[in-house]
Amino acid sequence: MPLGERQGDKGESRYCGVETEFNDDMPHVLAFNLSSGGFDFVIAPLMDPTYRPSLVQKDSAGSGALPFAGSDLVMSPSQWSSHVVGKISSWIDLDSEDETMRMDSETTLKQEIAWASHLSLQACLLPSPKGTSCANYARCVNQILQGLSNMQLWLRIPLVKPDDDSANEKSDILVDSWETWNSFRLLCEHHSLLSVALDILGTLPSANSLGRWFGESVRAAIIHTEAFLTNARGYPCLSKRHQRLITGFFNHSIQIIISGKSVHPQANVAADASQNNSGEGLQRHALRPYLDYVAYLYQKMDPLPEQERFELGYRDFLQSPLQPLMDNLEAQTYETFEKDAMKYIQYQRAVSKALLDRVPDEEASTKTTVLMVVGAGRGPLVRASLQAAEETGRKLKVFAVEKNPNAVVTLHALVKLEGWENSVTIISSDMRHWNAPEKADILVSELLGSFGDNELSPECLDGAQRFLKEDGISIPSSYTSFLQPVTASKLHNDIKAHKDLVHFETAYVVKLHNVARLAPTQPVFTFTHPKHSDKETNQRYKKLQFMMPNDTGSAMVHGFAGYFDAVLYKDVHLGIEPSTATPNMFSWFAIFFPLRTPICLSPGSTLDVHFWRCCGPTKVWYEWSVTSPTSSPLHNTNGRSYWVGL
């Protein structure tokens, strides 16, 4: 029984599980927890916890049968696959100093994973590492991962991070649990089938510390009944901080699992009374009130906005940036961008303000403004400019310059359809090579990429600037790129799957979702138009230094998220930089610059990053590197992997 339905949300977080004890009658375990309890799946031990290989060898009569929870025949393959997550025996300790314990643990781990794989389970829950070292545990898990094709392994990690003051009080919790996870996944080489199941306790670390986990491969959150508070009616509830965390998990398709015994007897008393009154014979599940509360949190979430629903399919999907100069865009690409009403509202506002500044009221009926749309596409900026003229009562003469011959066909049809023959002239040419018959008062373009200049807006507008009057206006008038370090395990694993250097030196357009933003953005490159000096090149270099907040704890940087903010005209801006992003605009996703080797940052440390924008005769490219806390290789030297063609 999924927690509920939210329009457009197909995440796995709709399903809630329950952790169970060992029971060799698996059909009963499923019937009780799914039918009576209302849960969607169980975390169930597959082997009797009293089993030890070393004891069997001494006492066994040689039957060789392992004490599993029922044969694979007791349920259908689809029941095993859809409703059971295997729970590996919690006693195993592969880093124990006791050799027998180590050997028993390794044998049992491999036996249980092999059985789970035989059952076609989707996932197995691995117990938490027991000590400060997990090298042997990770070695055995990594061996197992090499032979798996589909089954996920969830490493159980308690969600703890000692704060500076609490570390002295509780000497037993001195390790940031993220460090344990990081050590384990590094030993397993960031394997894509290794994920995290977080144990949620009654107290939570700081918001910054929690934020790290949203960029990690977290598949489940196990909430212990002791973490719940009691409301006025005696039912379980959660603190505001826990509620926010659970809502964050829902948004990131992280499944909730209830664990432990009921510690809210009042809720059980009410449930028993209701059951007696209704005459139901089925035993009421003691953890049902906890499931009901989690379902309540899910159902009271705000529905996804229309824009988010539109972007669902693009979340964390790597796309190559457009090459608008080298390639002619397709109709579908134009159509997607043309649907972005907010972008063209901002352009219309900018043109309106420019027209009012350019032509005083007393000259409105006599003076005609020459406006050139460079890169007109299928005409949305032409329409926005003509609407601005109508709105302001100004006369306008428009040149629509477009190099894509297919889009020019559409432009001619649009001019006829709209009756623009007297006001719009279509020019089928590359703006850099066209010789204009007269100079423009206003130059309008939408050549911006996710990183501002990455679709060669500077080079194109430099080429078009010669037909702008000395006092002419460029819309946009300037734009700045921004960067911030991010944790992005999924993106890293997707790039790593290609097994080559090229993909780690390519910038991708991505609708970032499962990422942790580790520091505020910083500006990188700024371009201003029109350019008033011929000596200024479009090459750029910037060194950035990001400070990691002390309360975050250690974190992993997989790469950098890039954004832009543009000033269209005066106070009219357009952009995707998170703190100033234009609302309800979907033309641009962020850009992602990966690191070949992720870099671990300690609390309060600084991250020194270098970015170059390089220009050659036929291409423009970026190079990037990190020099602190450790040095990374220089990425994309000479544009060997990724470049934009002029």
In angstroms, the CA 145 to CA 128 distance is: 17
* Active site annotation includes 97: no
Tally DSSP H helices, then E strands, for the chain. 19, 26
In angstroms, the CA 447 to CA 456 distance is: 7
Q: Is the backbone peptide bond immediately before 530 cis, with ω within 30 degrees of 0? A: yes
Helix (H) or strand (E) holding 489: helix 489-496
In angstroms, the CA 443 to CA 570 distance is: 15
End-to-end CA distance of the chain: 55
* Active site annotation includes 311: no
**What 3-state DSSP class applies to 348?**
helix
Q: Which residues pair with 449 in a beta bridge?
A: 452
Q: Which residues contact 7 (CB under 8 A, 6 or more apart)?
A: 303, 304, 309
At which residue do the structure tokens 């916890």 appear?
49
Count other C-beta atoms under 10 Å from residue 112's C-beta.
Answer: 23
SS3 string of 66-111? CCECCCHHHCCHHHHHHHEEEECCCCCCCCCCCHHHHHHHHHHHHH
Q: Which residue of the set 216, 446, 459, 505 is catalytic?
A: 446
**What strand order describes the sheet that includes 440-444?**
424-428, 395-402, 368-374, 440-444, 468-475
> Using an 8 Å Cβ cutoff, are 148 and 116 in contact?
no
What residue ranges in 144-299 does DSSP mark as E strands? 152-158, 194-200, 218-224, 229-230, 236-237, 255-259
> Using an 8 Å Cβ cutoff, are 200 and 222 in contact?
yes
Quick one: tokens of 550? 């002390």
Q: Which residues contact 175 (CB under 8 A, 6 or more apart)?
A: 132, 162
Q: How far is CA 104 from the centre of its chain?
A: 40
Q: Which residue of the set 19, 112, 402, 455 is catalytic?
A: 455
**What 3-state DSSP class applies to 264?**
coil
CA dihedral of residues 58, 62, 64, 69 (deg, nearest 10): -70
- Supply φ then ψ for residue 388, to 5 degrees: -65, -40
At which residue do the structure tokens 């069997």 appear?
56
Name the nearest CA neighbour of 554 among 189, 200, 162: 162
- Catalytic residue numbers read 446, 455
